[in-house]
Amino acid sequence: LMDRRSDLATHEIKLGGVTLGKELFVIAGHCTIDPKNPNYFYETAAAVKEAGAHVVRGGVWKPRTNPYSFQGDVKSLDILMEASQRTGLPVDAEVMDEEHLKMALDAGVHMLQIGARNALNYSLLRAIGKAIAERDTVVLLKRSIHMGPIDEFIAAAEYIVSFGNPNILLCPRGTKPGLDGYRNHPDESITPLLKEKSWAPVVVDPSHSVGKAAYVPACSLAAVAYGADGLCIESHIDPAKGIGDDPKQALTPAVLAETIQQSKQLWSL
Ligand code: PEP
Ligand code: MN
């Protein structure tokens, strides 16, 4: 299925008014929705739309390294869907288990994110593939922190698409160990390798790769230079007021707008 020569090579994935591969596709929004301050998310959603994003992202349930850190809150699911209503844009959230999966699908989440920590969780990948087989849901599959060769990433995607819904986006997001001062080892450079072996669009996440807002614009442009079809960027109306990764990683809407504009220019060269 993932073979470039398969029938699916001509399959078009459409979301947020964009056909993947026809113009640069952008997902942007919070790392984490703060259920106590929903207005930040509503303001961010409006601002990322204005900046040119096509999908609003917002973490409802969060995989945290420290079990005592905020783990997300199901109340944020309503906030996410309200932001979709207000902006008219589709939304993306990570699901970490089958309970989240059911709740997210029942709520109408348009794009399911599979995080780096679950990208090798084959039973979850299978459950997602089964659950969306008859739907037009899109999956953003992050590359595992520890994923080895490209084929392992493509095989993980295959677990989902083999059930019949081919709307999958491959998302390099950096691997461990990190490169010097970066959060992870930026891996946007695997984009051409993925595109050689698979027909699936590649949407790079520069935010988790470099882990610091100041480096995100350069990593975004690098991803586009390598041939990425899209970007997934953390952005917050007021990063210092954010939670999760947002204080460190999120771009302000102004920087996001500039990054999208420059990335689009480079993409169309
Ligand atoms: C995220 O997108 O906020 C996230 C937790 O990503 P990853 O799974 O790539 O760490
Ligand atoms: Mn994050």
Task: Please state the ipTM of this predicted complex.
Answer: 0.99
pLDDT one-digit tens code per residue, 37-60: 999 999 999 999 999 999 999 999
Cα of 28 vs centre of ligand 1, distance in Å, is 13
Q: Which of 76, 137, 148 is nearest to 108 (CA)?
A: 137
Q: Which atom of ligand 1 is nearest to the CA of 114?
A: 8
Among 31, 56, 71, 183, say which to mutate for ligand 1: greatest number of ligand atoms within 8 Å of CB.
Answer: 31
Cα of 32 vs centre of ligand 2, distance in Å, is 7
pLDDT one-digit tens code per residue, 182-221: 999 999 999 999 999 999 999 999 999 999 999 999 999 9
Q: Which residue, by CA, sits nearest to atom 6 of ligand 1?
A: 115
Among 60, 94, 184, say which to mutate for ligand 1: greatest number of ligand atoms within 8 Å of CB.
Answer: 94
pLDDT one-digit tens code per residue, 86-109: 999 999 999 999 999 999 999 999
* Range 23-267 classified under CATH 3.30.479.10: no
| CB of 209 closer than 8 Å to CB of 172 | yes
Cα of 53 vs centre of ligand 2, distance in Å, is 17
Residues in the 5 Å CB sphere of ion ligand 2 = 31, 245
Q: Which atom of ligand 1 is nearest to the CA of 143?
A: 9
Rounded Cα–Cα distance for residues 191 and 184 (Å): 16
pTM for this predicted structure: 0.98
- State residue 94 phi and psi, 5-degree precision: -80, 140
pLDDT one-digit tens code per residue, 254-264: 999 999 999 99
- Ranges of each domain in the chain: 23-267
> 155: which 2 tokens?
């095989």
Q: Please name the residue that has the structure tokens 């959230």.
A: 93
Our separate counts of H helices and E strands in the chain read 10, 10
Residue 3 has pLDDT above 90, yes or no: no
